[in-house]
C-alpha cells in the first residue's frame, strides 16, 4: 500500500480443525505396552477475523470454486498490454525511449516528487521531531544546485534487493512515535535485474537518484552496477529467461564468488538462461546439470556492470518463461505470500499492498504503476469507477467480480479470490482491521501481513463501511 496515507482495516473469528495422527510404529509400541494409543491433542483454529475457516487459507479451497480457468492473455498479448501502458500511463516510465540527455528542470521535477519536506510533523525513531534544520541537511544531501544544466543519463542494473528512499539516507522517519512500522522515507524496493536510469548523485557520493520502470527515488550505490545502455538492453532482451515464481528464492551457495552466492530473488525477477555449452560443466565448482544457469548482473570492484554465470537449483520455485496468466495460477501465486509480514514500501524484506499485487502479476509478465493511488486512478487496465454516493453500483459490481480483480479504496488495494455463500473474499497485504461484532460492539484489530478476509463486514471507521470507500475495480485483461 505505498501511498503517503496508509489504509487497510480488516476482519475476524474462527473454525475448528482437528489434527490427529499416529504412526503404525507408535500404535504397535502402545499395544505391546498394553497402554492406550497416543493421539495428537485437538488443535483449535482460533482467529479474530470473521468468516474465516482454516481451509480458506489454502489456494486449493478457492481454486476448486473456479468455473472458468482459461488463459486470459497470451505472452504476445501481455507484451502488447505492457507496451500500451508504458507508452501512455503517466505513472510508468518507458525506459526504452528514455532520453540520453535531460534538462536540469526535468531532473529536479523528478526529485521533487519524493525529496520534499512533509506537510505534517515527522519524528525520528527516538521520538524527536524532524526540524527545519534536519530538512536543511537533507536538502543539502540532495544538492540540487550541483545538477548541471544538461544531465547526461547514465545506466545501471540493480544487483541486489534494495530500498529506494525519499532522501539519500537510511535514517527512519515516522509520522508519530506509535507509527514505527511505517518509515515515511521508504518509497519502494528494487530487485536484481531491474534497469535503472541514473540521473544524479548525493553530496556524500553514496547514493544515486535513479528511475526504474515505475518509480524515481534514491538508491544506495552499492546496490547498482553501471554499464552501457546497449549492453544492458541486450541482456534484458535475451531469451529464454527464468522467472522466479516463489515468494523468494536464492541462488546456489558459491564459495568462489560471494557476489552470486545465495542472492535473494523475489517473485517476478527474470534472468536470462545460459546453457552448459556456453559455460561448461563446472560453474564455480558445481556441475550445473541439476540447476538452471542464469546470467546474473553483479558489481565489479569499481562499480562496473558484469554478468556472471550463476546457478539456481531446479528444485527451487522458478519457471522457464512467465507463468500462463489464468485464475488458478493467480490464486497460487497470491497465496505464496500468505502470512508474510507487512512491509511499507517493501520494507522489512516484505512488501505492502501494491507491492504484493505487483509481484504476483509480474510472474505473468504484467507490469503496473507502483502506488495504490497511481494504480487506481490510472487507466492501465479496464476499470469500473464509482461516484462517492453510488452504493448500489458498488454492490452490483461486487457480484460481478472475477478472480484476480483489484479493488481500490483510498490508500489500499485488495485482490478478489472468490465468494462463499454470496460473500466476496479478498487477499491483501494490510495493517489493521475494524468491524462490528454480533453484539454490535466495534472491534479494532491488527493484521500486519498478507491476509484473507471477507469484504462486506469490514469498516473504515465506526460510521463508514469498507465497501463504501471503493472508488475503482480493475480487471487485468
pLDDT (0 to 100) of residue 16: 27
pLDDT (0 to 100) of residue 38: 53
Q: How confident is the model at residue 17 (pLDDT cuts 50, 70, 90)?
A: very low
Domain boundaries, the chain: 12-72+325-474, 94-235, 238-320
Q: Rounded mean pLDDT of 344-371? A: 97
Cα separation, 458 vs 183, in Å, equals 26
CATH number of 238-320: 2.30.30
Residue 151 has pLDDT above 70, yes or no: yes
Any idea what DSSP says for residue 147? S
Q: How confident is the model at residue 450 (pLDDT cuts 50, 70, 90)?
A: very high
Q: Rounded mean pLDDT of 80-98? A: 96
Percent of the chain with pLDDT over 90: 90
Residue 262 has pLDDT above 80, yes or no: yes
Please list, in sequence order, all residues whose beta carbon lies within 8 angstroms of the beta carbon of residue 276, skipping any fewer than 6 positions away: 288, 289, 293
Q: What angle do CA 278, 281, 284 make, to 5 degrees?
A: 95
Q: What are phi and psi of 170, to 5 degrees?
A: -95, 5
Kindly report, residue by residue over 304-322, the tens digit of the pLDDT: 999 999 999 999 999 999 9
Kindly report, residue by residue over 187-225, the tens digit of the pLDDT: 999 999 999 999 999 999 999 999 999 999 999 999 999
Tell me which residue has cell 521520538: 127
pLDDT (0 to 100) of residue 6: 38
Residue 46 has pLDDT above 60, yes or no: yes
Burial (Cβ within 10 Å: 0-12, 13-18, ≥19) of residue 15: middle
Residue 354 has pLDDT above 90, yes or no: yes
Q: Rounded mean pLDDT of 248-260? A: 98
CA 180 to chain centre: 20
The sign of the torsion formed by the CA atoms of 310, 352, 115, 214 equals positive
Are the C-beta atoms of 219 and 162 separated by less than 8 Å? yes
Decide if 94-235 and 238-320 have a common fold.
yes
Q: Rounded mean pLDDT of 409-426? A: 97
Q: How confident is the model at residue 43 (pLDDT cuts 50, 70, 90)?
A: confident
Q: How confident is the model at residue 25 (pLDDT cuts 50, 70, 90)?
A: very low
Are the C-beta atoms of 456 and 429 separated by less than 8 Å? no
Average pLDDT taken over every residue of the chain? 92
Q: Following CA atoms 341, 258, 311, 301 in sequence, which dihedral angle do they give, to the nearest 10 degrees?
A: 110
Tell me which residue has cell 550541483: 146
Q: How confident is the model at residue 41 (pLDDT cuts 50, 70, 90)?
A: low
Residue 185 has pLDDT above 50, yes or no: yes
Which H helix or E strand runs over 154?
strand 154-158
Query: 358-362: long-range contacts (C-beta < 8 A, 24 or more apart)?
Result: 358/268, 359/266, 359/267, 359/268, 360/267, 360/330, 360/333, 360/334, 360/415, 361/268, 361/476, 362/267, 362/268
Q: Name the grid cell of 258.
A: 560471494
Q: How confident is the model at residue 13 (pLDDT cuts 50, 70, 90)?
A: very low
Q: How confident is the model at residue 263 (pLDDT cuts 50, 70, 90)?
A: very high
Are the C-beta atoms of 168 and 221 separated by less than 8 Å? no
pLDDT (0 to 100) of residue 244: 98
Residue 22 has pLDDT above 80, yes or no: no
CATH number of 94-235: 2.30.30.40
Q: Rounded mean pLDDT of 25-40? A: 43
Are the C-beta atoms of 431 and 342 separated by less than 8 Å? yes
**Domain 12-72+325-474 bears CATH identifier 3.90.1720.10:** yes
* Residue-wise DSSP of 101-123: EEEHHHHHHHHHTTSS--SS--E
Kindly report, residue by residue over 400-410, the tens digit of the pLDDT: 999 999 999 99
Amino acid at each position: 500500500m505505498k501511498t503517503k496515507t496508509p489504509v487497510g482495516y480488516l476482519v475476524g473469528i474462527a473454525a475448528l480443525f482437528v489434527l490427529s495422527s499416529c504412526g503404525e510404529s507408535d500404535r504397535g509400541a502402545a499395544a505391546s505396552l498394553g497402554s492406550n494409543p497416543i493421539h495428537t491433542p485437538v488443535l483449535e483454529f482460533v482467529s479474530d477475523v470473521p468468516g474465516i475457516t482454516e481451509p480458506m487459507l489454502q489456494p486449493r479451497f478457492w481454486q476448486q470454486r473456479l468455473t472458468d480457468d482459461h488463459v486470459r492473455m497470451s505472452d504476445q498479448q501481455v507484451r502488447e498490454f505492457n507496451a500500451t501502458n508504458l507508452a501512455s500511463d503517466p505513472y510508468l516510465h518507458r525506459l526504452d525511449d528514455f532520453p540520453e540527455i535531460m534538462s536540469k528542470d526535468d531532473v529536479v521535477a523528478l526529485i521533487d516528487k519524493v525529496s520534499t519536506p512533509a506537510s505534517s510533523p515527522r519524528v525520528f525513531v527516538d521520538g524527536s521531531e524532524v526540524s527545519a534544520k534536519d530538512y536543511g541537511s537533507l536538502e543539502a544531501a540532495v544538492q540540487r544546485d550541483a545538477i548541471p544544466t544538461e544531465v547526461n543519463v547514465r545506466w545501471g542494473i540493480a544487483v541486489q534487493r534494495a530500498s529506494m528512499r525519499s532522501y539519500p539516507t537510511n535514517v527512519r522517519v515516522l509520522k508519530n512515535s506509535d507509527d514505527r512500522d511505517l518509515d515515511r522515507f521508504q518509497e519502494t524496493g528494487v530487485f536484481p535485474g531491474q534497469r535503472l536510469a541514473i540521473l544524479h548523485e548525493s553530496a556524500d557520493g553514496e547514493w544515486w537518484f535513479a528511475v526504474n520502470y515505475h518509480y524515481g527515488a534514491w538508491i544506495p550505490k552499492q546496490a547498482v552496477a553501471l554499464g552501457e545502455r546497449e549492453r544492458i538492453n541486450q541482456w534484458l532482451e535475451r531469451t529464454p529467461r527464468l522467472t522466479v515464481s516463489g515468494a523468494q528464492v536464492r541462488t546456489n551457495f558459491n564459495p568462489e564468488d560471494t557476489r552470486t552466492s545465495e542472492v535473494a530473488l523475489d517473485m517476478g525477477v527474470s534472468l536470462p538462461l545460459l546453457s552448459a555449452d556456453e559455460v561448461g560443466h563446472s560453474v564455480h565448482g558445481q556441475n550445473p546439470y541439476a540447476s538452471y544457469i542464469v546470467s546474473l548482473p553483479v558489481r565489479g570492484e569499481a562499480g562496473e556492470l558484469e554478468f556472471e554465470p550463476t546457478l539456481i537449483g531446479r528444485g527451487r520455485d522458478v519457471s522457464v518463461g512467465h507463468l500462463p496468466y489464468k485464475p488458478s495460477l493467480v490464486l497460487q501465486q497470491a497465496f505464496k505470500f500468505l502470512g508474510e509480514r507487512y512491509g511499507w514500501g517493501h520494507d522489512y524484506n516484505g512488501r505492502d499492498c501494491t507491492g504484493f499485487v505487483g509481484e504476483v502479476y509480474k510472474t505473468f509478465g504484467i507490469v503496473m504503476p507502483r502506488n495504490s493511488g497511481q494504480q487506481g486512478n490510472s487507466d492501465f487496465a479496464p476499470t469500473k469507477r464509482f461516484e462517492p454516493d453510488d452504493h448500489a453500483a458498488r454492490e452490483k459490481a461486487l457480484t460481478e467480480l472475477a478472480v484476480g480483480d483489484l479493488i481500490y479504496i483510498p490508500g489500499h488495494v485488495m485482490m478478489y479470490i472468490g465468494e462463499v455463500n454470496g460473500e466476496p473474499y479478498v487477499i491483501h497485504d494490510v495493517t489493521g482491521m475494524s468491524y462490528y461484532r454480533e453484539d454490535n460492539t466495534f472491534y479494532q484489530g491488527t493484521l500486519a501481513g498478507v491476509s484473507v478476509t471477507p469484504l462486506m463486514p469490514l469498516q473504515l471507521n465506526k460510521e463508514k463501511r469498507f465497501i463504501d470507500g471503493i472508488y475503482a475495480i480493475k480487471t487485468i485483461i
